[in-house]
Amino acid sequence: METKNKHHRKQHPGNIALAIAAAVILLTVLFYLINYLVGKNYYIETNDAQVESFINPVSARISGYIKQVNFDEHQPVVKGDTLVLIDDREYKEKFAEAQADVDDAKARIEVLAASIRSAESGTEVNKNDIEAAKARLYEQTRDFARYKNLVKDEAATGSDLDLAQSKYNVSLSEFNASKNMLKTNYAKINELKTQQKLLTANLEQKRAVLELAKINLVYTVIRAPYTGILGRKAILEGQQVQVGQPLVSIVNEKYKWVTANFKETQVDGMYPGQPVDIEVDAITNKVFHGQIEAIAASTGAKFSLLPPDNATGNFVKIIQRIPVKIKFTSTDIQGIKAGMNVFVKVKKKSK
């Protein structure tokens, strides 16, 4: 005979597991819901954000054939490392030619300076000659005047007076010739000094050409502008490159930041220095820290090549995005690469 205990059936183990799973799911949903509500009250969030860094192309400053390529793709480099060597034979010849032109101009100036010094020494001789001619003229002037008086007194003959006058005329001519010679030497010195100025200007021009040739010779060695990581390798030895042609890109690993595009309804109350939590999609279970460095003065659409014009009559209201620059305060960001997607949370300002 069956007893009444049969009415108390045992629960099936599957039902217990299902109930536990349902409870876990419910608790999980409640946990995330509470976190969402709390986060919504205390944080401003967006996943429209990416890591940024300076990515600069390393370009050729001169044209020529690539002699040697000293890097591989995605290679770390230090500032000053040699990346590319351009065939420098032509530039060495131009430098040597410019150096020879400078040396020639210097030699011409030195020869001219010697001529000026010689002419200036000649003026001293001219001055001495003038003084000697002046003394002789003074003496012949007195003799001529004396003979005039002697002729009047019939103490000398007319031939004596003619001789005295002849000597006076010769002395006067020598005196005038000495003065004219001094003037000629001064004019010659001025002319030489004018030529010296022209040669000096020509020398400066040739020095400028030499400096340009030196700069171009230096440009045959292309170095890393700063420490970073190189991009793709797209050049080969023997390739002809032109002035301004990009050879390789380099990513600056020293400075990274996040550009977060917040909705226009989210930026009210944001300020530079505001703390930010950063989660990188590629790096799980780790939160990086940063702070707002700058808030754009315009929406991203206004910076576009063709900004929208709402006056055309086809107006549809779209929530705009404001770019916000966030700098990392965490130092362990070596694994973060430019272009990575991130999720940022900005702590609201306490009222």
For 291-343, what is each residue's pLDDT tens digit?
A: 999 999 888 887 777 777 777 667 778 888 999 999 999 999 989 999 999 99
Are 101 and 189 in the same domain? yes
> In this predicted structure, what is the pLDDT of residue 42?
75
Residue 155 in this model has a pLDDT that exceeds 60 = yes
User: 156: domain range?
Assistant: 89-216
What is the per-residue pLDDT across 50-101, written as a single tens digit (0 to 9) for each? 999 999 999 999 999 999 999 999 999 999 999 999 999 999 999 999 999 9
Q: Give the three-state DSSP class for 79.
A: coil
Are 103 and 156 in the same domain? yes
- Among 216, 251, 271, the domain-final residue is 216
> In this predicted structure, what is the pLDDT of residue 3?
47
The answer to whether residue 41 is domain-embedded is no
Are 195 and 299 in the same domain? no
Are 183 and 288 in the same domain? no
Q: How far apart are CA 346 and CA 271, in angstroms?
A: 10
Q: 177-183 contacts: CB < 8 A, separation 24 or more? A: 177/133, 178/126, 178/129, 178/130, 178/132, 178/133, 179/130, 181/126, 181/129, 182/123, 182/126, 182/127, 182/130
Residue 276: in which H helix or E strand, if any?
strand 275-280
- In one-letter notation, the amino acid at residue 229 is I
Are 309 and 242 in the same domain? yes
What is the per-residue pLDDT across 22-50, written as a single tens digit (0 to 9) for each? 788 887 877 766 666 555 567 889 999 99
Are 140 and 198 in the same domain? yes
Residue 14 in this model has a pLDDT that exceeds 70 = no
Q: How far apart are CA 157 and CA 151, in angstroms?
A: 6
Domain count, the chain: 2
The answer to whether residue 19 is domain-embedded is no
Are 144 and 248 in the same domain? no
> In this predicted structure, what is the pLDDT of residue 189?
82
- Give the residue-averaged pLDDT of 200-204: 92
81: number of Cβ within 10 Å: 14
What is the band of 6 on the pLDDT scale with cuts at 50, 70, 90?
A: very low
Give burial (CB, 10 Å; 0-12/13-18/19+) of 37: exposed
Structure tokens belonging to residue 85: 């060597």
For residue 238, give the CATH number of its domain: 2.40.30.170
Q: Within 13 Å of residue 252, how many CA atoms lie on the same side as its CB?
A: 13
pTM, rounded to two decimals: 0.65
Q: How far apart are CA 151 and CA 165, in angstroms?
A: 13
> In this predicted structure, what is the pLDDT of residue 19?
76
Q: Measured between alpha carbons, how far is residue 111 from residues 89, 210, 327 in Å?
A: 33, 22, 65
Residues in contact with 81: Cβ distance below 8 Å, sequence separation at least 6, in sequence order: 70, 71, 223, 224
Are 156 and 97 in the same domain? yes
- In one-letter notation, the amino acid at residue 183 is K
> In this predicted structure, what is the pLDDT of residue 94?
96
The answer to whether residue 335 is domain-embedded is yes
- Among 190, 216, 242, the domain-final residue is 216
Closest C-alpha to 339, from 11, 1, 52: 52
